[in-house]
Chain A
Amino acid sequence: QITLKESGPTLVEPTQTLTLTCTFSGFSLSTSGMGVAWIRQPPGKALDWLALIYWDDDKRYSPSLKSRLTITKDTPKNQVVLTVTNMDPVDTATYHCAHISGDVLDYWGQGTLVTVSS
């Protein structure tokens, strides 16, 4: 059974760096074809893909946010970390991580709401 859970701060101040951790079970990022993605959703708005990382450390970023994003993995700990620099109130959103298999986002975490405010 694949599960994912996001963790991190619920409130960050403008200009700060956000660090989110996705802790998962039921699969390993040492397995060929596996990956983890991050997606966010501002309140009442649509889903917005941010970044993904594959088992072989191949990384992809949203072109519009690439300069602010870093994704890394800790395979033994079953964790993927996303950092977002220079946070702004428009970055207020629920941040989800999701499992990738065959390039499909098939299992999602419940998400964590991050509010950007001073």
Chain B
Amino acid sequence: DIQMTQSPSTLSASVGDRVTITCRASQDVTLWLAWYQQKPGKAPKLLIYKASTLQNGVPSRFSGSGSGTEFTLTISNLQPDDFATYYCHQYDTYRTFGQGTKVEVK
């Protein structure tokens, strides 16, 4: 199985901050990496797919980068609506999610 490791597990930030979350894969997943945002009691929402392609309707302050085994999700100018848990997800071989990164109010 491909293991996905996110860091940090929790991130404390303020509105207006630039936030970066890292996701590492245990083996090469090329560009087959997506990012999701989840709020309590809600379904995950697709933000980015194919490592850096922004899903329709997602604000441009979200961006993704990386390839192979290392990926990042960046939120520039953090907004109140962005406090949530973020998951990376590889869809190269079977499918695996990271353990999540909670972005909380500092």
Which residues does A use to contact B, with CB under 8 Å? Answer: 37, 39, 46-49, 52, 60, 62-64, 96, 102-111
Contact = CB atoms under 8 A, between A and B. Distances in A.
A110 B34 contact: no
Say what secondary structure dominates the interface of chain A. Answer: strand
Contacts, number: 54
B68 to A, nearest CB: 18
Instruction: Determine the interface band of chain B, counting residues with CB < 8 A from chain A.
Output: 20 to 34
A60 B44 CA distance: 21
Given A47-B87, A63-B1, A108 B44 contact: yes
Contact of B100 (A46, A63, A110): A46
B95 A37 contact: yes
Interface of B: 1, 32, 34, 36, 38, 42-46, 49-50, 55, 87, 89, 91, 94-100
A96 B87 CA distance: 15
List the 4 closest pairs (A to B, CB-CB), nearest first: A108-B43, A49-B95, A47-B97, A104-B49
B61 to A, nearest CB: 20
